[in-house]
Amino acid sequence: MTELLEKYYRQDLHAGGYVERKFSVPEHSFCLSGVALSGKTMLVKHYLLQQRKASYLYIDCSDIRLDTDRFNAQIRSFCNTHDIETVVLDNYRPELLRPAVSQLILIGRELTDTQDLAHYRLFPLDFEEFLAFERKYDESALNDFLQLGGFPVMHRTPSEERNLLLQRTFKTALGDIGFDLMQLAARLYTQKVSAFMLYERLKSERKISKDMLYRHYEKLIAEGYLHAVAKFDHPRATKKLYLCDIALKNALVFQKHFGRLFENMVLAELVKHRTQIFYEEQIDFYLPESGRVILCMPFGTKEILFKKIEQAEAFIVTHGVKKVEVITMSSESSLHHPFVEAEMIPFAQWALSDEG
């Protein structure tokens, strides 16, 4: 085990092509979670490469050569001997002993028994981060975002290999049941879907118990692979289901519905702001903290918008909604309505604003 630790200590890390993210690695110890391919490893490696090489130790805990008992017996003395200040345990497993160093960074899907450390979640790229990968920012950027989604690896993967890469990666990360659930969610995304409905669909395709499906479903929600949006003031109502990134829709199912894809793209942008999000009949998203209603209308007109506001008028008045934002592909306009301020905003403009 000492030989393996020495190998990790002396290895040269690579973060070629790294593009800055909004998340800055703090100097204290912390846990970093996030869905597969969100860029966790690359971000931390880039941070380490800014440090003195002899001061850190990066270990990928998925290495089959890493024996738990021998690792636990030697890691602390190894760090002391080499005066290591920062240890990164990627794909961390809770049975591994955590060394006492100045900075400990744990990366993984499930980070249990780590309540003593600050915990951060890295999401796939939002639109602003995505633009850093683009050679130039013009009207084609949004189309590229719709095609590639928010996984950084998509930018350095040949187009014919992208969907297969996502399929392989997520099947390995989620296991058979989790992957089957994601495929089913990719067919039903943006719809009102309960765990029981998923069970009824999936049990005809594979042998599975209701309890097992519920556990896997809740795990996908907890880890951010799926987002379930509740109906406002109706916690028991069926929730609307969304994917963590729009690239998964194209990778997992061959199904065309641009309106639903656009709605999921808007939701993924909102999730990264960590604000409360609800839906209501005739309303895509309601954000009570800011008193905003958001409607997704990629190719909407002022006439369609006026009708939509009329349909939601009772909710708008009852809850004192301050503003209705209509997210479009390119249309931009204001609507004078007696009850609320309404504005049609292109997605690119909205996503780059403070409120997006």
What local confidence, expressed as pLDDT, does residue 230 receive?
98
Q: What local confidence, expressed as pLDDT, does residue 339 receive?
A: 81
pTM: 0.93
Determine the Cα–Cα distance for residues 176 and 237; give it in Å rounded to an integer: 29
Burial of 233 (0-12, 13-18, 19+ CB in 10 A): exposed
pLDDT along the chain (356 residues), means of 10: 90 90 95 96 96 97 95 96 97 95 92 84 96 80 94 95 97 96 97 96 91 96 97 96 97 92 97 93 95 93 86 92 94 83 93 80
Q: Which CATH class is domain 2-121?
A: alpha beta
Domain residues of the chain, as ranges?
2-121, 273-356
Res 356: pLDDT: 65
Beta strands of the chain (E only): which ranges?
30-33, 56-60, 86-90, 103-107, 118-121, 226-231, 240-243, 278-280, 283-287, 292-296, 323-328, 333-336, 341-346
Note the pLDDT of residue 340.
Answer: 86
Whether the Cβ atoms of residue 198 and residue 183 lie closer than 8 Å to each other:
no
